[in-house]
Amino acid sequence: MSKIDLYGIPNCDTVKRARVWLEAQGRDYAFHDFKKEGADPERVAAWIAAAGLDAVLNRKGTTYRKLSDADKALAADSHTAVALLVQQPSIIKRPIVEHSGGILVGFKEDEWSAALL
């Protein structure tokens, strides 16, 4: 089976559900904690290139809503958004999974089953 890298924040409910699902499927994965390890700019740029800014940027969360209008303007453009997402990894949609077939953003069990099983 292919290697799985899961990116997120451990206390996020969606990340918790995704981890439980992976473990129930018997899938090993490496967990990367944004709070402890931060977010890598090249990786964030690659996620945006693969899935699109709208998929990677979590506009529904409290952290995004608390951003200044100037920061929200930065978040509107793929090129300037990378620096903002690296600086504020809590506005990255969670979890993000890198696997041999590409990436998954967010946890949708049917998509994950199709891609990872």
96: number of Cβ within 10 Å: 26
Secondary structure letter of residue 103 according to DSSP = E
Q: Among the options 6, 7, 8, 12, which is catalytic? A: 12
* 33 SS3 class: strand
Domain count, the chain: 1
User: Which pTM does this prediction carry?
Assistant: 0.92
Q: How far from chain centre, in Å, is Cα 82?
A: 13
Active site residue 55: no
| CATH code of 58's domain | 3.40.30.10
What domain range is 74 assigned to? 5-116
Percentage of the chain beyond pLDDT 70 is: 99
Q: How many residues does the chain have?
A: 117
State how far the Cα of 36 lies from the Cα of 58, in Å rounded to an integer. 19
Q: What is the pLDDT of residues 15-72, one digit of tens each?
A: 999 999 999 999 999 999 999 999 999 999 999 999 999 999 999 999 999 999 999 9
The type of residue at 87 is Q
